[in-house]
Amino acid sequence: STLYRVDGWGQPYFSVNSSGNISIKPHGSETLSYQEIDLLKVVKKASDPKHSGGLGLQLPLIVRFPDVLKNRLESLQSAFDSAIVENGYGAHYQGVYPVKCNQDRYVVEDIVKFGGSFRFGLEAGSKPELLLAMSCLCKGNAESLLICNGFKDAEYIALALIARKLMLNTVIVLEQEEELDMVIAISRKIDVLPVIGLRAKLRTKHSGHFGSTSGEKGKFGLTTAQILRVVKKLDQAGMLDCLQLLHFHIGSQIPSTVLLSDGVGEAAQIFAELVRLGANMKVIDIGGGLGLDYDGSKSTESDISVGYTLQEYAASVVQSVKFVCDMKGISHPIICSESGRAIVSHHSILVFEAFSASSYDSPEVSSLGLQYFVDRLSDDARADYRNLSAAAIRGEYETCLLYADQLKQRCVEQFKEGSLGIEQLADVDGLCDLVTKAIGAADPVRTYHVNLSVFTSIPDFWGINQLFPIVPIHRLDERPTSRGILSDLTCDSDGKIDRFIGGQSSLPLHELNGDGSGGRGGYYLGMFLGGAYEEALGGVHNLFGGPSVVRVLQSDGPHSFAVTLAIPGPSSGDVLRVMQHEPELMFENLKHRAEEYINQNDDGGMGHASLASGLAQCFKNMPYLAPGLSCCLTA
């Protein structure tokens, strides 16, 4: 586990068990040892058709642990509860979950259910997100906040006001000054008193990758002058009482509590000023930003790590708000946060399979003999060859590499001119490999091919260079003998993972079972901490759709679990439909064509029915590599 730093980023949910497999502690540090779940067993049950009770789902697979989600929510709440008691803070913490981080129905429903007892609410940033938040919160605690962020049109505002009519604790947070006129007009028209918040553009700037939306030039929120105009306009409309919440968000992955308390302190001053100006301020909403230590380094310098614990985060927020409020003599507001990453990242694990790996080809030189090869070289190339041999005998390694390189270039030129055959071109590659291997300069990094689309499942790796912990989920009691990069199924050179946590450009990996170079590997890797953003952002590059999903609960027996939901990923037909194709029509056309072919050719092998059913199956299967070699068309 030290090789992959599992103890660093995995605490308190992931560890390596005595079988060398990744083990899940669904209740975090409160998990008793007999409650731990072996991830490999879950994957086998979900995917292996031969496994007793196996579900036969295709990989890649997302394994969700709702118990982990519950533990994250409760840990966040209790961190704030403790900080509030310890600091003698005079109000409570009431968080919301920003649904954009993962809009999956079961994730959102679980959060509303698990957080109901402590009034945990939701944040929406668009109309469909608001619709889903409204319908989920209808089943939740009436006091839970429904925060409406994002750019708004009249329809969004009307919907948010209807939500208040439905007795949901809805707050319309002004993102732009122009939204205020619409809020005033529509609320009068439909006769409902709005609760209004405003998003302030803070001067505090988060300088990391995720902070580009913060600071005076940030994309979102109201400037100081705009805040003053909003207050004035509300006062003139007799609605200053409606202004009750101040929101800000300095960016995701806030690296340190120093930056955090700087931002919260600035916002608390604005809050106090709004109180002074007569607004009915009740809630300070500190946005997201509670970060995760993806590489276990606890560094404040990196975009993928943070230098604080949950408890330190909560204490820093509570102390910063209290300090300003006490200084200004105003009552302590309810503290709301919009943590997404910190709530949903841990509960979902992406499991995928390495199906082949590039082999270290034993360098080969012509079956026709070395002399045959040398005879066909140009004079210059032959001279390089002689120099190379002489340098090798003298043991001058650097010179060897130089001549090998030169020889290769000349041979490629000769091949392009047509004076060297393909066999000799292969020979020169073999010879150069032999030399680099003999002098120990061969690149030991192999390419492991994985049944995955990076664009669909780890879009932030491709888009913003974000790193996630990636680890084999089994064989961790066996020292890996190889190093590799991961290359995905897409026909795109960006579809590879060649940077890993810990500044590594390759990952320690095991030999695949079998000969290590072909066939299906049965070698499973997990990408951890990707429950936030990754599923919501992924597209359909190369028409690979999302993974299959299982929801796993810890159950009564020792180390036992129950799969409570199993959803196959989108089929080829489904992803084709996303791009406006009509799979049913496509199938009918192809079937018709197959019938014509069979009628014209007395095809002894494949009858019309099996051809049609093979085609139909291809539309129904997921686009990823099918398990085993039993493709429907070859069976």
Residues lying near ligand PLP in the complex (CB under 6 A) are found at 98, 101, 149, 249, 252, 287-290, 338-342, 532
Instruction: With residue 564 as reference, give the H or E element that holds it.
Output: strand 561-567
H helix count then E strand count, the chain: 21, 21
Q: CA-CA distance, 246 to 317, in Å (whole number)?
A: 15
Region for 537 from its dihedrals, namely left if φ exceeds 0, alpha if ψ lies in -120 to 50, beta otherwise: alpha
Q: CA-CA distance, 525 to 507, in Å (whole number)?
A: 11
Nearest Cα neighbor of 352 from 165, 547, 174, 518 is 547
Q: CA-CA distance, 587 to 626, in Å (whole number)?
A: 20
Q: CA-CA distance, 132 to 148, in Å (whole number)?
A: 12
Q: CA-CA distance, 199 to 221, in Å (whole number)?
A: 5
- Nearest-approach distance from CB 164 to ligand PLP, in angstroms: 20
Phi, psi angle pair for 486, to nearest 5° = -110, 130
Q: CA-CA distance, 72 to 30, in Å (whole number)?
A: 12
Q: Is 146 helix (H, G, I), strand (E, B) or coil?
A: strand
- Nearest-approach distance from CB 403 to ligand PLP, in angstroms: 55
| DSSP-derived secondary structure for 537-553 | H---GGG--PPEEEEEE
Q: CA-CA distance, 154 to 140, in Å (whole number)?
A: 27
Nearest residue (beta carbon) to ligand PLP: 288
In one-letter notation, the amino acid at residue 386 is R
Q: CA-CA distance, 238 to 8, in Å (whole number)?
A: 54
Q: How far is CA 607 from CA 587, 610, 613, in A?
A: 17, 6, 10
Tokens of 545: 């759709």
- Nearest-approach distance from CB 103 to ligand PLP, in angstroms: 13
Catalytic pick among 491, 618, 631, 632 = 491
Tokens of 573: 């037909």
- Nearest-approach distance from CB 330 to ligand PLP, in angstroms: 25
- Nearest-approach distance from CB 339 to ligand PLP, in angstroms: 4
- Nearest-approach distance from CB 125 to ligand PLP, in angstroms: 7
Q: CA-CA distance, 359 to 341, in Å (whole number)?
A: 38
Q: CA-CA distance, 314 to 78, in Å (whole number)?
A: 9
Q: CA-CA distance, 177 to 516, in Å (whole number)?
A: 62
Alpha-carbon Rg of the chain, whole angstroms? 30
- 491 part of the active site: yes
Q: Scan for tokens 């686009």, then name that residue.
A: 623
Strand pairing report for 169-174 and 196-199: parallel
Q: CA-CA distance, 7 to 371, in Å (whole number)?
A: 57
Q: How many CB atoms lie within 10 A of CB 106?
A: 16
Phi, psi angle pair for 86, to nearest 5° = -60, -30
For ligand PLP, the closer CB: 78 or 613: 78
Q: CA-CA distance, 35 to 387, in Å (whole number)?
A: 67
Q: CA-CA distance, 361 to 343, in Å (whole number)?
A: 46
**DSSP E strands, 160-221:** 169-174, 196-199
Instruction: With residue 423 as reference, give the H or E element that holds it.
Output: helix 422-438
Q: Is 389 helix (H, G, I), strand (E, B) or coil?
A: helix
The 3-class SS string of 447-497 reads EEEECCCHHHHCHHHHHHCCCCCEEECCCCCCCCCEEEEEECCCCCCCCEE
Length of the chain as a residue count: 635
Confirm if 306 and 254 have CB atoms less than 8 A apart.
yes
**Residues annotated as catalytic (active site), given as ranges:** 491
